[in-house]
C-alpha cells in the first residue's frame, strides 16, 4: 500500500491528486460506510420494519429490491461522472443520502421508507463509480488490490459496526433512530469530502450522449467486460438470495431477537473485514485473477455446506462467517480487476459493473423470500450455490487469455 499515489506513465493523473492520498481514502471510506449501512441494515431487520409499519414482510423485501434497482441508473451516470467530476459526484451522493435518511426518520411511514431507500440507493449508485474511478486513475494496477481493498473496509464496517449500532439505536430510541443518525453523519462526511478532495478538473467534450453510447457499445463488444458483468450479476444474485432471508432464518430457527440479530450481523462484518484484509495484503501478490477464481470455488462449497452445518445456532453462525469471508474476498478482488478492464472509460466500466451487480441483488432480493418460503435454508443454499457455480464458469471463459497487459481500451 506504500505505493499508492506513485505516478505511472501509463495512467492519466489528475493534477495534484496523487498528493496526500491517504486522507482522501480515509474520508471516502467513512462516507461509503454510511452509504453501505443505509443500504444493508434494512436486511436483517426487515421483519421488524414490517411489524412497525403494519405491512407484510414481502412489502419490505420489495423495497430492498427497488433500492438495488437504482444501480441500473449508474450505466447512464458513468460517462457523465468523468465530465462533472469525481468530487462533485461524491458530494451529491452525500446530499442525497442525508435527504433520504432524514425523510424516513421524520415521516416514519412506508412511503417514507420507500423514498429513503430510493434516494440512498441512487446516492450509492453515483458515489461508488466516482470513487472507484478516482482510485483506478491514481493507483497503479500492481497496487490496485491494496487500494481498492482498503476502500472496501467500508463494506465490512457496515455489518461489523454500522448494523450493530443501528440495532442498539433502535432498541434504545425506536426504529427511526438510525435513519436520523445517518442523516446527520452524512452531512459531516460531505463537509470532510469537500475539504480533502481537490476541485475537479473540467474534461471538455466528455459526458455527451455520444460518449454514453460509445461507452455502452464498448461494454457490449468486449467478451471479457461483458462476461465480468454477467459474473457480477449472478454472484450478487446468489448472495442476496441468502442475505435477504438469513435474519428471518436465525430468528425463526433459533429465536434470535433484534439485538442478537445485530450482533450476529456484526460477526458477518468481521468475516468481511478479514476478507478485505486478505485482498489488501495478498491480493496483488497472489494475482487478482487467480484470487477471484479461488474465492468463487470456496464460496460455492460454503453455500452447499451451510444447510448441513446450520442445524444449530453455533453451526449456522460459523457457516455464515465462512461464507461471507469467501464471498467478500471474491467480490473485492473482482472489483479491483474490473477497474482495469476498460481503462479508457473507467467510470463507464465501474458504473456498468455496479449496475450488473445491482440487478443481481434485485433478482436475489426478489427470489430470496420465495425460495425461503418454498424450501427453507436448504433451497436457499442450493439456489445460491448453483448460481455461483454458473458465474464461475462464465468468468473463467471470459478471462481466458486476459492479463493486465492486454487490458481492453
Residue pLDDT, tens place only, 57-68:
778 877 877 777
CA distances from 254 to 17, 141, 268, 387 (A): 51, 45, 17, 27
pLDDT at 346 over 70: yes
Q: How far apart (Å, rounded) are the C-alpha atoms in residues 340 and 136?
A: 7
Find cell 467500508 and name the residue: 154
Asked if 105 contacts 180 with a C-beta cutoff of 8 angstroms, the reply is yes
In this structure, of 31-40, 147-156, 316-325, 326-335, the range with the lowest mean pLDDT score is 147-156
Provide the b/e sequence for 342-378 (b: ≥16 CB within 10 Å): bbebbbbbbbbbbbbbbbbbbbbbbbbbebbeeeebe
What digits encode the pLDDT tens for the residues 95-146?
A: 999 999 998 888 888 888 888 888 988 898 889 888 887 777 777 766 667 7
Domains for the chain: give ranges and CATH numbers.
21-196+208-406 (1.20.1250.20)
For the record, the C-alpha cell of 107 comes out as 415521516
Q: 265 or 341: which carries more pLDDT confidence?
A: 341
User: Residues near 210 by Cβ (< 8 Å), separated by ≥ 6?
Assistant: none
Report the share of the chain in percent with pLDDT over 90: 23
Flag whether pLDDT at 352 surpasses 50.
yes
Look at 71 and 39; give whichever has higher pLDDT: 39
Distance CA 338, CA 345 (A): 11
Q: Which pLDDT belongs to residue 55? A: 85
Residue 254, φ and ψ in degrees, nearest 5:
-125, 5
pLDDT for 56 beyond 70: yes
Confidence of residue 5 (pLDDT cuts 50, 70, 90): very low
Amino acid at each position: 500500500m506504500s505505493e499508492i499515489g506513485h505516478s505511472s506513465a501509463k495512467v492519466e493523473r489528475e493534477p495534484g491528486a496523487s498528493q496526500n492520498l491517504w486522507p482522501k481514502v480515509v474520508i471516502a471510506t467513512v462516507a461509503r460506510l454510511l452509504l453501505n449501512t443505509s443500504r444493508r441494515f434494512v436486511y436483517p431487520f426487515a421483519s421488524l420494519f414490517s411489524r412497525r409499519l403494519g405491512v407484510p414482510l414481502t412489502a419490505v423485501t420489495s423495497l430492498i429490491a427497488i433500492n438495488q434497482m437504482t444501480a441500473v441508473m449508474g450505466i447512464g451516470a458513468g460517462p457523465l461522472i468523468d465530465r462533472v467530476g469525481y468530487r462533485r459526484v461524491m458530494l451529491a451522493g452525500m446530499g442525497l443520502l442525508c435527504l433520504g435518511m432524514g425523510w424516513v426518520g421524520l415521516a416514519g411511514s412506508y412511503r417514507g421508507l420507500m423514498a429513503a431507500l430510493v434516494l440512498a440507493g441512487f446516492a450509492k449508485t453515483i458515489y461508488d463509480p466516482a470513487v472507484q474511478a478516482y482510485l483506478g486513475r491514481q493507483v497503479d494496477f500492481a497496487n490496485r488490490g491494496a487500494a481498492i481493498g482498503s476502500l472496501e473496509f467500508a463494506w465490512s464496517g457496515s455489518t461489523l459496526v454500522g448494523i450493530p449500532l443501528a440495532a442498539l439505536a433502535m432498541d434504545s430510541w425506536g426504529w427511526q433512530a438510525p435513519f436520523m443518525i445517518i442523516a446527520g453523519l452524512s452531512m459531516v462526511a460531505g463537509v470532510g469530502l469537500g475539504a480533502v478532495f481537490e476541485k475537479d478538473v473540467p474534461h471538455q467534450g466528455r459526458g455527451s450522449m455520444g460518449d454514453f453510447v460509445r461507452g455502452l457499445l464498448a461494454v457490449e463488444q468486449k467478451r471479457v467486460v461483458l462476461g465480468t458483468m454477467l459474473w457480477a450479476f449472478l454472484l450478487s444474485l446468489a448472495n442476496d438470495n441468502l442475505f435477504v432471508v438469513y435474519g428471518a432464518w436465525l430468528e425463526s430457527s433459533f429465536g434470535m431477537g433484534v439485538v442478537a440479530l445485530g450482533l450476529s450481523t456484526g460477526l458477518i462484518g468481521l468475516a468481511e473485514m478479514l476478507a478485505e484484509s486478505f485482498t489488501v495484503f495478498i491480493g496483488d501478490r497472489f494475482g487478482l485473477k487467480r484470487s477471484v477464481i479461488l474465492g468463487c470455488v470456496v464460496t460455492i462449497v460454503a453455500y452447499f455446506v451451510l444447510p448441513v452445518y446450520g442445524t444449530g445456532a453455533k453451526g449456522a453462525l460459523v457457516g455464515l462467517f465462512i461464507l461471507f469471508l469467501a464471498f467478500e474476498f471474491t467480490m473485492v478482488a473482482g472489483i479491483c480487476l474490473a477497474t482495469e478492464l476498460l481503462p479508457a472509460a473507467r467510470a463507464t466500466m465501474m458504473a456498468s459493473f455496479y449496475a450488473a451487480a445491482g440487478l443481481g441483488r434485485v433478482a436475489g432480493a426478489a427470489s430470496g423470500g420465495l425460495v425461503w418460503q418454498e424450501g427453507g435454508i436448504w433451497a436457499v443454499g442450493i439456489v445460491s450455490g448453483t448460481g455461483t457455480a454458473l458465474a464461475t464458469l462464465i468468468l473463467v471463459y471470459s478471462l481466458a487469455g486476459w492479463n493486465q497487459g492486454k487490458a481492453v481500451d
